[in-house]
Structures are given as structure tokens and as C-alpha cells.
């Protein structure tokens, strides 16, 4: 029965209803003189709170003393039944989440594809733990995170908060990023850059689309025409940008990841990438943080789960393989145009 209240309303006599549902009901005066309804032998009626509903209607009848108490109770059941129907109708009229269902279906298909194992590449990059990360011109991208003057210069919006900037290792990955850009461009890989207007808890969306020199990519690492550039306000590059759509449109399934800051936006981007079933290889000496310990800790958090026994069956999905710039250059050498 869809509605026990509607069923009870159809009965003009409670004893008949009790017999029809194979349970007993008794109405009696409690020790304190209060009305009480007890339903026994039916978990179904208890589950639908019938005992409380009848008790409430009997209390109302006793207080109001209608001429026909049975009719009063029947009308009360009808009213409650109508209210229940409205609630069900409202739930049924909830917004259509078909876009989310499609997204779930897409992710389920990618999860199944990932479970089938990594696709062979045109070349392999040697990684930590005697592992390899296969790459191919048709499905691999280099993604550079936030290589902006704001992070890489002492006058930048982030760099200015570090009085000992000249002693910070934050610029240590720049040369590695330059080498990766050269190697990946020469091999014909998709190239993507992110720029961040998230500074701690502050979001500066007024910088997007301007020629602000702090916000712009560092002169040594500027994007070329045709390369992807996304502007983000989240630490990860996928959550607040069309990066996923841009990469999918170009057939990308694997990512070589570099940039700053290793412990913040690099780590967040790696996590968001594998959530979307992009396979990730982090190039550690093309990444940097304001503190070497932060950098090393982030690399360990990305690398160690991936190479531990029990988690190491998948390449680049938990949370990424880790390689060095030289390993990438050697691996990509056969792919030069």
C-alpha cells in the first residue's frame, strides 16, 4: 500500500481495519486518564507512524467533541493524506539533474577504462620506484601551474610576504619548466598554463583580462598562440576553469605536471586531475615551494601512495608518478618533430 493513511480513511470502523491488517488496536484510558492508541503486530503500520497519527486525531476529537467523532476522524485522515500526497508531488517535481547523471555516466565509463589498464604510449618516462609513465603525442599534455610574476618575484603579491625571498627555493623549478616546455613543444604535445587570482583567502578577479604584470605569466614562460590558458580562483586548476573541457577536446588523457606551489596548487591540481581519471606524472625538479620541506612533503604525499604495495596497480592515478626533467627529456627524445 502506498498510503496507510488513505487505507485507514477508507475504513469506517477501526476494528474492521485491525482485522484487515492482521493486527490489534485498542483504545483505552491510561492511568492518568489520557487517551492512548497502541498498535501491535504490524511493523508496517509502526513504520508509517500510524499510532501517533491516530493518537493525535483522538486527542483533537476529545478536546473538540464533534457531533460525529468518526466523521471527524475520517476527515482528519483525509486531510493528512492530502498533505502527504503534496509532499510526494513536490519531491517528484524536484529539479532535473540530468546533467549530473550524464557526468556520472561519463566518469563511470572512464573508471572502467582505467580498470582495464594503462594504454601503451609512443614513449616512456622513467619514474620513481622503477616505474614508467607512458606518453603519446595524441593524448598527453604538459600542464604548467601558476608560473606568474606574483609568485616568482620578490615584488609579487605572494612573494612580497617572504622577506627572505632571495633565499627561498620558489624559483628553483623555473629552469626545469623552461626545459619541459621546450621538450614538449618540440614533441608536439598539448600545452596548458594556469594563472591564479586566488591569493590565500583573497580572490582578485579584477586582474583577469588585464595586462597586470604581476598576474601575467613570467616572461620566460609565456604561452604561445594556440596554447591553453585558464584563469582560476581555486587552488586546483580544474575546479574553477574549463581546463578539463579544453583537454578532453584535444583528446588528452595523461598529464605531465609542473609549476608552483608544490604544496598548494600543484598538489590540488594533481588530486583534481586523478579525480577526473587523468593520469598524472609530476616532474619534481620543475616544481617548487617557498620552503623546501613543504615541497618535499608534497612530493611524498603524491608519490608514496602510488608506489606502495596494494595501491601501485594503476599508473598515475593515486596520486601521480614522479619523474625528473632529465627523465622526461630522454623519454621524449624519439618524439621530436
If you ran DSSP here, which 8-state letter would residue 119 be given?
A: P
Residue matched to cell numbers 608534497: 298
- Contact between 193 and 223 (Cβ < 8 Å): yes
The residues, ordered by sequence, that sit 6+ positions from 67 with a Cβ below 8 Å of its Cβ are none
Catalytic residue among 127, 184, 258, 265: 265
- Contact between 125 and 281 (Cβ < 8 Å): yes
Helix (H, G, I), strand (E, B) or coil at 250: coil
The residues, ordered by sequence, that sit 6+ positions from 226 with a Cβ below 8 Å of its Cβ are none
Among 199, 271, 204, smallest CA distance to 236 is for 271
Helix (H, G, I), strand (E, B) or coil at 314: coil
Q: What angle do CA 315, 321, 326 make, to 5 degrees?
A: 125
Q: What is the largest CA-CA distance in the chain?
A: 96
Neighbours of 114 (CB within 10 A): 17
Question: Catalytic site residue 265?
Answer: yes
- Contact between 40 and 19 (Cβ < 8 Å): no
Q: Which three cell numbers stand for residue 267?
A: 598538489
- Contact between 8 and 20 (Cβ < 8 Å): no
Residues marked as catalytic: 265
Amino acid at each position: 500500500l502506498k498510503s496507510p493513511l488513505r487505507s485507514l480513511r477508507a475504513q469506517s470502523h477501526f476494528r474492521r481495519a485491525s482485522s484487515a491488517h492482521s493486527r490489534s488496536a485498542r483504545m483505552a484510558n491510561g492511568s492518568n486518564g489520557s487517551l492512548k492508541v497502541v498498535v501491535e503486530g504490524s511493523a508496517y503500520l509502526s513504520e508509517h507512524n500510524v499510532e501517533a497519527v491516530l493518537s493525535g486525531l483522538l486527542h483533537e476529537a476529545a478536546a473538540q467533541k464533534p457531533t460525529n467523532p468518526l466523521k471527524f476522524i475520517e476527515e482528519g485522515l483525509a486531510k493528512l493524506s492530502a498533505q502527504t500526497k503534496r509532499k510526494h508531488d513536490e519531491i517528484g517535481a524536484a529539479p532535473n539533474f540530468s546533467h549530473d547523471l550524464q557526468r556520472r555516466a561519463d566518469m563511470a565509463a572512464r573508471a572502467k577504462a582505467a580498470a582495464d589498464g594503462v594504454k601503451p604510449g609512443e614513449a616512456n618516462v622513467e619514474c620513481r620506484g622503477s616505474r614508467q609513465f607512458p606518453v603519446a603525442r595524441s593524448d598527453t599534455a604538459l600542464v604548467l601551474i601558476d608560473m606568474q610574476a606574483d609568485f616568482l618575484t620578490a615584488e609579487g603579491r605572494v612573494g612580497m610576504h617572504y622577506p627572505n625571498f632571495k633565499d627561498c627555493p620558489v624559483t628553483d623549478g623555473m629552469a626545469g619548466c623552461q626545459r619541459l616546455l621546450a621538450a614538449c613543444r618540440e614533441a608536439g604535445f598539448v600545452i596548458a598554463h594556469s594563472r591564479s587570482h586566488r591569493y590565500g583567502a583573497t580572490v582578485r578577479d579584477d586582474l583577469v583580462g588585464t595586462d597586470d604584470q604581476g598576474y601575467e605569466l613570467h616572461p620566460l614562460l609565456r604561452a604561445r598562440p594556440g596554447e591553453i590558458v585558464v584563469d582560476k580562483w581555486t587552488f586546483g586548476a580544474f575546479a574553477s576553469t574549463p581546463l578539463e573541457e579544453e583537454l578532453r577536446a584535444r583528446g588528452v588523457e595523461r598529464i605531465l605536471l609542473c609549476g608552483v606551489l608544490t604544496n598548494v596548487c600543484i598538489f590540488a591540481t594533481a588530486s583534481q586531475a586523478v579525480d577526473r581519471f587523468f593520469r598524472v606524472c609530476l616532474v619534481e625538479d620543475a616544481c617548487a615551494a617557498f620552503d623546501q620541506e613543504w615541497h618535499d612533503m608534497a612530493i611524498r604525499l603524491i608519490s608514496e601512495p602510488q608506489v606502495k604495495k596494494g595501491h601501485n596497480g594503476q599508473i598515475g592515478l593515486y596520486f601521480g608518478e614522479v619523474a625528473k626533467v632529465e627523465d622526461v627529456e630522454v623519454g621524449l627524445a624519439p618524439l621530436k618533430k
